[in-house]
Amino acid sequence: EPEVTQTPSHQVTQMGQEVILRCVPISNHLYFYWYRQILGQKVEFLVSFYNNEISEKSEIFDDQFSVERPDGSNFTLKIRSTKLEDSAMYFCASSERTGHRAYEQYFGPGTRLTVT
């Protein structure tokens, strides 16, 4: 069964450093998403991406964040200057966004980001 993959599984970085989290969505999916989950808290939507541009974003997704689909398979989330409060599990998801399974999002296993 196809699945969303994410690398690395755990990233440790120092405050102020840039990080790039990588995702490979399911190959025939058209919509891509990033979410984060701070330890012990709710899942929070960050951004959705379609047709090489951001389609929706939340107030969390400020200028420190950016997303990119650099090639036909990868989808990345960049945090320019990490802060301690960016420490969280980051989940990538993808969906077909067509037909009766339009919003069925498949989540990756997550990347745990630890900012020290």
Partner 1 sequence: GESVGLHLPTLSVQEGDNSIINCAYSNSASDYFIWYKQESGKGPQFIIDIRSNMDKRQGQRVTVLLNKTVKHLSLQIAATQPGDSAVYFCAERMKGDYGQNFVFGPGTRLSVLP
With b for 16 or more beta-carbon neighbours within 10 A and e for fewer, the 20-43 pattern comes to: ebbbbbbeebebbbbbbeeeeeee
β-partners of residue 91 are 35
Residues 16-45 interacting with partner 1 (rule: CB under 8 A): 38-45
Per rule CB under 8 A, is residue 71 in the interface with partner 1? Answer: no
Site mask, partner 1, residues 41-70, x = CB under 8 A? Answer: xxxxx--x------xxxxx-x---------
Q: Could you list the residues that contact partner 1 (CB under 8 A)?
A: 4, 38-45, 48, 55-59, 61, 91, 93, 103-110
